[in-house]
Chain A
Amino acid sequence: MNSLALNQFLALLYREVLENRNLFIGAPAVLAVLLFVFTAWIVSMAPEQELATAIEYLSVIFDGLSPVDMASIFMIPAIPFMMMLYFCGLIYLLNALYQDRKDMSVFFWQSMPVSNAKTVLSKVVTIGLVAPVFYVAILFVVYLIAVLWLTLLGFSYGVQVAGLGYMFLAAVASLALVYLSAFVTSLWLLPSVGWLLLFSAFAKRTPILWAAGVFILIGFLEDFIFGSQYLANWVESRSNPNQYFIYEFSDVTDRLLSYDMLFGVLVGSILLIGAIFMRRFID
């Protein structure tokens, strides 16, 4: 890829972030504020003695332990953010190739020297690589504020808080797990990504109804006509979050190079190619 093509692609990614900053930045920021307010409310109601004991307990647990080994614990507070990422990703993918056709801006974008393949690929890269960066950044700010807050509280109660530094390092290490989980998820669910983009490029209105309706219809017809359930079984075999969540760094290569992952990428690519050809019809 030459520098012009690279700059074009980076510009496409920048466009996606600008047009969807509510989904990629606003939504996790609001979630972080809500969680922070809820936590502050809980802490304000707890007795001081119990708070001091809890802070000391946290400090002792993490003190001296390897942050990488303890990182998986911090996947638990990241779950609401991961769920928010999936929800916002669903909305984003359904509107990705539909919204610009709806507001006619597609004519402007198609007048640019950018191919349909690059446009569709930029959507996939945005949801797989770019969007998780913002979620991870907001999680980092949340962890930083939480640790500073706990440290100040610990000082005010006269508790040893040296272990909170290790806890913060473990939380930072967990951000890599969160990012890797988001990336692996986008590859694992590439058939779903392709399906949503295909119907986002196809539907003249309500792409979500087309995407869900055609899926249900095909599953029903397969069962009714052929008596088989390959489609339903395919979806069922790939819908367990444990298949794409990364809890340890050593899991990454096993997940990325597994047969199911590679076959899913193949099937997702078929749907993405369909979405690229579908992008020709913008009437």
Chain B
Amino acid sequence: MLQLKNLLLRNRFSVLLATLTVYLLVLVVEGAITGREARVVDFENPFFDLTMRDFQDFRDARIEDNESDFSSADPDVL
């Protein structure tokens, strides 16, 4: 016990680390018990699901649209 006390009170950084560890532990345990949910930095949106596959589909769709536009266009204009 004395060794632990000496270790924690060795210098200012060990005191800071010990204090912040206890602080965060209490916060996390209480948050887990009471079921607090993250709300601040939550970018999930059911109406806008952004994935790289969407970009690929979007690119494919654009290419298909362009091809269909060119195929239906008047060759004289081209």
A233 near B40: Cβ-Cβ < 8 Å: yes
B28 at the interface (CB under 8 A from A): yes
A271 at the interface (CB under 8 A from B): yes
Total CB contacts across the A-B interface at under 8 A: 72
- Quick one: which of A245-283 are within 8 Å of B by CB? 263, 266-267, 270-271, 273-274, 277-278, 280-281
Secondary structure class of chain B's binding surface, majority of residues: helix
* Size bracket of the A interface: 20 to 34
Given contacts A202-B16, A218-B20, A281-B15, is CB(A263)–CB(B40) below 8 Å?
no
B12 near A263: Cβ-Cβ < 8 Å: no
A267 partner, pick from B11, B27, B36, B39, beta carbons under 8 A: B27
A233 partner, pick from B11, B20, B24, B31, beta carbons under 8 A: B31
B38 near A233: Cβ-Cβ < 8 Å: yes
B16 near A198: Cβ-Cβ < 8 Å: yes
Give the CA-CA distance A240 to B36 in the complex, in Å. Answer: 17
Give the CA-CA distance A38 to B18 in the complex, in Å. Answer: 50
A237 at the interface (CB under 8 A from B): yes
Chain B 1-28 per-residue mask, 1 if CB under 8 angstroms from chain A, else 0: 0000000010110011011101110111
Residues of A within 8 A of B50 (CB): none
Residues of B within 8 A of A277 (CB): 9, 15, 19
Give the CA-CA distance A266 to B22 in the complex, in Å. Answer: 12
Secondary structure class of chain A's binding surface, majority of residues: helix
Residues of A within 8 A of B31 (CB): 228, 230, 233-234
A19 at the interface (CB under 8 A from B): no
B15 near A278: Cβ-Cβ < 8 Å: yes
Given contacts A230-B27, A263-B30, A277-B9, is CB(A236)–CB(B40) below 8 Å?
yes
A266 near B26: Cβ-Cβ < 8 Å: yes
Residues of A within 8 A of B69 (CB): none
Chain A 14-38 per-residue mask, 1 if CB under 8 angstroms from chain B, else 0: 0000000000000000000000000
A231 at the interface (CB under 8 A from B): yes
Given contacts A234-B27, A263-B30, is CB(A228)–CB(B19) below 8 Å?
no
Residues of A within 8 A of B9 (CB): 277, 280
Distance of A116 from chain B, by nearest CB (Å): 12
A229 at the interface (CB under 8 A from B): yes
Residues of B within 8 A of A48 (CB): none
B→A interface (CB under 8 Å): 9, 11-12, 15-16, 18-20, 22-24, 26-28, 30-32, 36-41
A→B interface (CB under 8 Å): 198, 202, 214, 218, 222-223, 228-234, 236-237, 263, 266-267, 270-271, 273-274, 277-278, 280-281
Between A and B, 11 residue pairs with Cβ closer than 8 Å are A198-B16, A202-B12, A214-B20, A222-B24, A228-B31, A230-B38, A234-B31, A271-B19, A274-B16, A277-B9, A277-B19
Since A214-B20, A277-B9, A277-B19 are in contact, a sample of 19 more A-B pairs with Cβ atoms closer than 8 Å, ordered by chain A residue number, is: A198-B19, A222-B24, A228-B31, A229-B40, A229-B41, A230-B24, A230-B36, A231-B24, A231-B27, A233-B31, A233-B36, A234-B31, A236-B39, A267-B27, A270-B23, A271-B23, A277-B15, A280-B15, A281-B12
The 8 nearest A-B residue pairs measured at CB: A274-B19, A229-B38, A230-B31, A281-B12, A232-B40, A236-B40, A230-B28, A277-B15
